[in-house]
Amino acid sequence: MQTFVCVWTEHLIPMTAIALDAMGGDNAPQAEVAGAIAAVDETQVRVILVGDKDRLHAELKSHGRSECEQIEIRHASEVVSMKDNPGKVFRQKTDSSMRIATDLVVSGEAGALVSAGNSGAMLSHCLFLLKRLPSVERPGIIQEFPRPTGIVTICDLGANTVVSPTMLAQFGILGAHYNRILHSQKRPRVGVLSNGTEDSKGTELTRDASELLRQAAGHVDAEFEFVGYVEGSDILADKVDVLATDGFTGNVVLKTMEGVSEAVMRMIKTAMGSTVRAKLGGLLARPALLAFRDSIHYSKFGGTMLLGINGTATICHGRSNAEAITNAILKTNRLLEKNLRQELGHAIARHAELWKSVKQ
Amino acid sequence: MQTFVCVWTEHLIPMTAIALDAMGGDNAPQAEVAGAIAAVDETQVRVILVGDKDRLHAELKSHGRSECEQIEIRHASEVVSMKDNPGKVFRQKTDSSMRIATDLVVSGEAGALVSAGNSGAMLSHCLFLLKRLPSVERPGIIQEFPRPTGIVTICDLGANTVVSPTMLAQFGILGAHYNRILHSQKRPRVGVLSNGTEDSKGTELTRDASELLRQAAGHVDAEFEFVGYVEGSDILADKVDVLATDGFTGNVVLKTMEGVSEAVMRMIKTAMGSTVRAKLGGLLARPALLAFRDSIHYSKFGGTMLLGINGTATICHGRSNAEAITNAILKTNRLLEKNLRQELGHAIARHAELWKSVKQ
């Protein structure tokens, strides 16, 4: 692995590069290049911009910048589009910016990759090229959500529509260690999303996954608690730190939360225009309301992570702006510094006997 | 069927009784009796209060009322508790208020039943005693949700955690006709909840159910449109009027919507206390915000309905107050007047060939 050494909070830490698929998002490459520049200006991070070298050079130039120790360009002649078939594209477009960025991680030249491109294609590139961590059945997508107190994460948010009990239990464990590492939660509370809190609720899948999580949480070195079933109304209620669910339900929940937040804010706006008094109140409260709306905007949270692969990969929203890209690079960098991949590897390997017992 | 005839919007309409399980809810029988009194005072409806006759007489008396043509008491010596096993209780407690109320509908003495008791037990009472409408595979629970423009309904919200394509398609059709009848939507737009709008998304279940709905919507007499897959973010976005989903996902969505609305409102309240200016704005906007909060409160929507049974049954929130009970009685009465059960029967029978084709 090619590394640069820089002085960092009193310790010597290798400055591992992050490969950025600079052509993937709806606003590429402008958002990607501007986001990378802001990231390197903010912290000691090294970014390899992957994509059409002429466009990337021109884009850097438009910011009065050029390649330097912290920003490098790597050419890729193709782009994975949102319409490309995720299962086929990594074989068809072998010179795409996403493919080259993934290859940089496989070869060790970069420590992680970030892309705002086709998320299904990101999943297949990571799965087939980076592969899974030992004993991990399938990787899951995780994201944090703000709640009145702190944050909660949900895994899986859409990588796997149909899952096994082992997969579901592993999503909970991967999520717990992600929260522990990134959000400094000492013993994250893991719950399985269900249609009721009683043990009789749920499906065969949620019951079996809960049993696995109960056993795993009983391990002497387990660094998480298992709180059992959690309902939709508990997601933002500070009863749980990590929610394990299948990718179908997780995706529906993710989008329901987005849609409901938006609808409630629209309805409150309408209510605030209903009387002269309310209108005046709305005007006065406007800056605070806008600050709140901004604080829960996806661009603040640095994208979703793919957990369980043998590497570090961040999947950004397709319509990411420069700020979202910057936050994704900074978060990915923190996870590299904190050895996310290795920590997740240990966390899953710790329960190897449990996973084997299911297969028998 | 024992009926009273009263003059009603210029037509002669039989005043069918509604059997009210007066002992079921957390606030029973106070909320139930007060709710029934308010309902009969508001409109021409007849309510049979089912439960401990001494307590019900005393409760009526505390309001300065007694039995009359519009309010009758029917004794039941037992009560189904929230802890009773739904699958067993209808055989074990044969003199429960829920059981007697259901029996009144079976015998035709009442046209519908309303209960705020154990919803699983309500489901089993209705399923085993009232049975299903012909060709209906399983009944589903439906509820309306306010969106910035109008309402949207979701079916199933928890009656069936694991469903078949036929069940899912029927939830969509039952929901469409419920919306048509109760909410005067001419051609409700039905969608299947999924993790993306592309046909490649979803599961085998959602794909097969979508195919059935597509075929049903093509029927010359179909009174609904099928819009395909719908995402969580579309639920409140006026893209769809009825959402078909399994009871596991539906229940998670229902509770996520409750939890997110609450969390967003709490966070907005905090934001409004963040500066002196915002605080003043919050004070001025307070009445409008409270009015908005009230407008989306469950008590306004008259409970959930069990669709697909050979009867009319309303399941109220366990913690229903008198207002929630009143609204449930009024809604149930409207559905009786509009022949919900018969209309749903026709709607499902219209596609009998389609349901048969799946079984072959």
Can you spell out the DSSP letters for A229-280? EE-GGGTTTTS-SEEE--HHHHHHHHHHHHHHHHHHHHHHHHHHTSSHHHHH
Interacting residues of A217 by C-beta distance below 8 A, sequence separation 6+: A190, A224, A225, A226
Name every chain B residue with its beta carbon within 8 A of the beta carbon of A162: 203
Strand partners, A312: A112
Which helix (H) or strand (E) segment is A228 a member of?
A: strand A225-230
- Angle made by CA atoms A262, A268, A272, in degrees to the nearest 5: 145
Distance of CA A219 to the CA centre of its chain: 27
* CA B125 to chain centroid: 16
* Angstroms from A311 CA to nearest CA on chain B: 26
Name the residue among A231, A248, A288 with its Cβ closest to that of B255. Answer: A231
Residue B289 has a pLDDT of 81
CA distance, residue B104 to nearest chain A CA (Å): 30
For testing contact with chain A, the best of B252, B253, B269 (most A CBs within 10 A): B252
CA–CA min distance B37, chain A (Å) = 32
pLDDT computed for residue B274 by the predictor: 86
CA torsion sign for B20, B21, B25, B28 is: positive
Burial class of residue A287, CB neighbours in 10 A (0-12, 13-18, 19+): middle
Distance CA A129, CA A113 (A): 12
B-chain residues within 8 Å CB-CB of A233?
255-256, 258-259, 262
Smallest CA–CA distance from A277 into chain B, residue: B284
How far is Cα B339 from Cα A230, in angstroms, rounded to an integer? 39
The pLDDT of residue A182: 93
Which residue in chain B has the smallest CA separation from A275?
B288
Cβ pairs bridging A and B (under 8 Å): 207
Which chain B residues are Cβ-neighbours of A257 within 8 angstroms?
232, 256, 260
Q: Examine the pLDDT at B127 and tell me if it is beyond 70.
A: yes
Contact across the interface for B288 and A278, Cβ inside 8 Å: yes
Instruction: Tell me if A275 and B281 make a contact (CB, 8 A cut-off).
Output: no
- Whole-angstrom distance, CA of residue B167 vs CA of residue B240: 19
Instruction: Measure A161 CA to nearest chain B CA, in Å.
Output: 7
Cβ pair A259:B162 closer than 8 A: no
Closest Cα in chain B, distance from residue A138 (Å): 17
Confidence of residue B14 (pLDDT cuts 50, 70, 90): low
Q: Cis (ω within 30 of 0) for the bond into B208?
A: no
The answer to whether B253 contacts A254, with C-beta atoms less than 8 Å apart, is no
In the structure encoding, which two tokens stand for residue A76, read together? 């890729």
DSSP-derived secondary structure letter, A188? P
Q: Which residues of A touch B284 (CB under 8 A)?
A: 277-278, 280-281, 284
pLDDT digits (tens, 9 = 90+) for B216-226: 999 999 999 99
Return the pLDDT at A282. Answer: 85
pLDDT of residue B1: 42
- For residue B5, what pLDDT band results from cuts at 50, 70 and 90? very low
DSSP string, B232-296: GGGTTTTS-SEEE--HHHHHHHHHHHHHHHHHHHHHHHHHHTSSHHHHHHHHHHHHHHHHHHHHT
Contact B274 A291 (CB under 8 A): yes
Q: How many CB atoms lie within 10 A of CB B263?
A: 25
Contact yes or no for A283 and B278 at CB 8 A: no
Residue type, B59: E
B-chain CB neighbours of A267 within 8 Å are 146, 148, 292, 296
Is A289 within 8 Å of B271 (Cβ atoms)? Answer: yes
Instruction: Say whether B284 and A296 touch across the interface (CB within 8 A).
Output: no
- All domains of chain A, ordered by start, with CATH? 1-132+308-339 (3.40.718.10), 137-304 (3.40.718.10)
CA distance A32 to chain B (A): 25
- CB-side neighbour CA atoms (13 Å) of B139: 29
B235 contact residues in A (CB cutoff 8 A): 256, 259-260
- Average pLDDT value for residue range B189-212: 95
Residues A191-235 have pLDDT tens digits of 999 999 988 899 999 999 999 999 999 999 999 999 999 999 999
Q: Running along chain A, 360 residues long, what does each successive block of 10 average in pLDDT?
A: 42 74 96 98 96 98 95 97 91 96 97 96 96 96 90 95 97 98 95 92 96 96 96 93 97 92 84 87 84 76 92 94 96 95 96 88
Question: What CA–CA distances, in Å, run from A272 to A53, A259, B265, B284?
Answer: 50, 20, 13, 9
Which of B292, B298, B304, B319 is the best mutation test for A, with the most CBs of A within 10 A? B292
The secondary structure of B84-148 as a DSSP string is: S-HHHHHHH-TTBHHHHHHHHHHHTSSSEEEE-S-HHHHHHHIIIII-BPTT-SS-EEEEEEE-S
What pLDDT, on the 0 to 100 scale, is given for residue A14? 53
Whether A258 sits inside 8 A of B232 (CB atoms) is yes
What's the pLDDT at B256?
93
Residue B17 has pLDDT above 60, yes or no: yes
| H or E stretch covering A358 | helix A352-359
Residues of A in contact with B292 (CB under 8 A): 267-268, 270-271
pLDDT, averaged across chain A: 92
DSSP label at residue A48: E
- DSSP helix/strand/coil, B348: helix
The reply to whether residue A291 touches residue B268, judged by beta carbons under 8 angstroms, is: no
Question: Which residues of chain B neighbour A280 with C-beta distances below 8 Å?
Answer: 281, 284
Q: Is the pLDDT of residue B9 over 50?
A: no
Q: What are phi and psi of A245, to 5 degrees?
A: -155, 165
Residues in B closer than 8 angstroms to A203, CB to CB, are 161-162, 248
User: How far is it, in rounded angstroms, from Cα A83 to Cα A360?
Assistant: 40
Kindly provide the b/e burial profile for residues A89-110, where b requires at least 16 CB atoms within 10 angstroms of the residue's own CB: bbeebeebbbbbbbbbbbeebb
pLDDT digits (tens, 9 = 90+) for B90-123: 899 999 999 999 999 999 999 999 999 999 999 9
Nearest-Cα distance to chain A for B234, in Å, is 7
Find the closest chain A residue to B83 by CA distance: A198
In the three-class reduction of DSSP (H, G, I as helix; E, B as strand; rest coil), residue B165 is classed as helix
Residue A97 pLDDT: 98
**Whole-number Cα distances in Å, A146 to A242, A292, A320:** 12, 11, 19
Q: Are B122 and B315 in contact (CB under 8 A)?
A: yes
Angle formed by the axes of helices A352-359 and A165-183, to 10°? 160
Cβ A249–B251 below 8 Å, yes or no?
A: no
Count of CB atoms within 10 A of residue B117's CB? 29
Neighbours of A357 (CB within 10 A): 12
Nearest CA in chain A to B230: A252
The pLDDT value recorded for residue B50 is: 98
Please indicate whether, in this complex, the C-beta atoms of B291 and A277 are within 8 angstroms of each other: no
Question: Is A259–B232 a contact, with Cβ atoms under 8 angstroms apart?
Answer: yes
Distance from CA of B3 to the nearest CA of A (A): 40
Contacts of A230 in chain B (CB under 8 A): none
What's the rounded Cα separation, in Å, for the pair A241 and A144? 10
d(CA B286, nearest CA chain A) in Å: 7
pLDDT at B12: 46
Residue A360: the pLDDT is 57
The pLDDT, as a whole number, for residue B360 is: 57
Gap from A251 CA to chain B (nearest CA, Å) = 5
B188: alpha, beta or left? (left if phi > 0; alpha if psi -120 to 50):
beta
For CA atoms B269, B274, B279, B282, the dihedral sign is negative
Best mutation target, A195, A229, A274, A286, to test chain B (most B CBs within 10 A): A195
Task: Please answer yes or no on whether B248 and A249 come within 8 Å at the CB atom.
Answer: yes
